[in-house]
Amino acid sequence: MAFPYLEAVVGFMIFMYFFETYLDVRQHSALKLRKLPKPLEGVVGQEKFEKSRAYSLDKSYFHFVHEAVTILMESSILLYGVLPWFWQKSGDFLVYAGLNAENEISHTLAFLAGVSIWSQITDLPFSLYSTFVIEERHGFNKQTVWLFFRDMIKSIALSIVIGPPIVSAIIVIVQKGGPYLAIYLWAFTFVLSIVMMTIYPILIAPLFNKFTPLPEGDLRQKIESLASSLKFPLKKLFVVDGSTRSSHSNAYMYGFFKNKRIVLYDTLIQQCNEEEVVAILGHELGHWKLNHTMYTFAAVQILTILQFGGYTLVRNSKDLFQSFGFGSQPVLIGFILFQHTVTPIQHIVSFGLNLVSRAFEFQADAFAKKLGYGAPLRSGLVKLQEENLSAMNTDPWYSAYHYSHPPLVERLAAIDESDKKTD
């Protein structure tokens, strides 16, 4: 008797929906609390707390609705055989258009085009509501409707340009890979990730935002001095106009080897003073100095090759395809079905990666503290929490499962604890 893959996948999806909804309910209860956590009393202003509480609750209500619609839609698509039906219809469309439906690459691209259109249509109401109702209501949204749709059109155009060659290459690799298929797939995705990380900040990101060099002045001098003291090969220092879309703030680094770049959101510079900005970059440089980025990249590569190895074990399983209603075994469909079947493992891996990520955040905070930026880092983290209206009260179960960064209370406690140890 064949293993009931479809029933097992849908059953686990529903189980995880109820489990995660339980965590969401716990978090929602924490968000309803009208008092600041004791460590934040006198640190975070009451007005900011009330605003963050209202913002977090709005997002929480929206999340409940979004997740309910998502599980209903996804389980229905699987149970009612929408995927094999859509695969068949995409082949019929090719025939109608006078193209060869037997060509798997053409068939796959037609299928993906239809799925993308469906995803855009179903996601659009949620994106619009999130941006122009929730974010607008709480003062974050800076986008016009025209800018929103212009970004969406650019994203679609990019996927049309980039997607087909990548999909076509993967199909050819699977068809001709033989016994070393997993290694070939990993090598292809490894090279692809390097190429994308190289061209994204140079060619793609500027399509959506304007990047300008940070003007000469004290802030630039302090950042360059910090980078030099750590032997960080800083080549360029940019400010990005994040304020054209949102008042949320951020900063990040990118680049390989001796060609590193730092990008500051203009909102970060507006919300924090110079010492706090430098302290936050001290934290980010801590990730680089402590090799967190390399460790994470290496972990992703290991997980990727393991995933491809697992895929090669089931890609020819007729039972798997037939369980989901497919008579043939297309490459793309094999990837989709495999992803569904290993979802339990993905949840465990994601939880483990979050644990590691939180540990890295504490280490980067400690690194910035050792550089002498303990006080400005502390005040900078508080400001970012306040300005982004991040949740002040968090349920420990929810944060342990979902958060890749420790809650503010825990980060401040760790910074204060290191102070006590040095006294």
For the record, the structure tokens of 290 come out as 């402590």
Q: How far apart are alpha carbons 352 and 303 in whole angstroms?
A: 12
361 is in an annotated binding site: yes
Within 10 A of 212 (CB to CB), how many other CB atoms are there?
10
Q: Contact at 8 Å (CB) between 412 and 277?
A: no
The number of beta carbons lying within 10 Å of the beta carbon of residue 91 is 19
Please name the residue that has the structure tokens 């259109």. 117
Calpha distance 81→56 (Å, rounded): 37
Task: Give 211's strand partners.
Answer: 240
Q: At what angle do helices 374-387 and 343-368 cross, to 10 degrees?
A: 130
- The residues carrying an active-site annotation are 284, 365
Q: Left, alpha or beta for 376 (phi > 0: left; psi -120 to 50: alpha)? A: alpha
CA distance 339 to 318: 16
Cα angle value 259/260/264 (rounded, 5°): 145
* Alpha-helix runs per DSSP H in 369-407: 374-387, 396-402
Alpha-carbon distance values, 46 to 36, 37, 42, 356, 408 (Å): 8, 12, 9, 33, 16
**Adjacency order of strands within the sheet including 260-265:** 211-213, 234-240, 260-265, 251-254
Of 238, 241, 239, 235, which is closest to residue 255 (Cα–Cα)?
235
What is the token pair recorded at 251? Answer: 């900063």
248 annotated as a binding-site residue: no
Q: How far apart are CA 8 and CA 3, in angstroms?
A: 9
| Distance in angstroms (rounded) separating the CA atoms of residues 191 and 199 | 12
DSSP H stretches of helix in 97-211: 104-129, 136-137, 145-176, 181-199
Question: 304 and 189 in contact (C-beta within 8 Å)?
Answer: yes
Paired tokens of 113 = 């085009």
Determine if residue 283 is labeled as part of a ligand binding site: yes
Tell me the binding residues for Zn(2+): 283, 287, 361
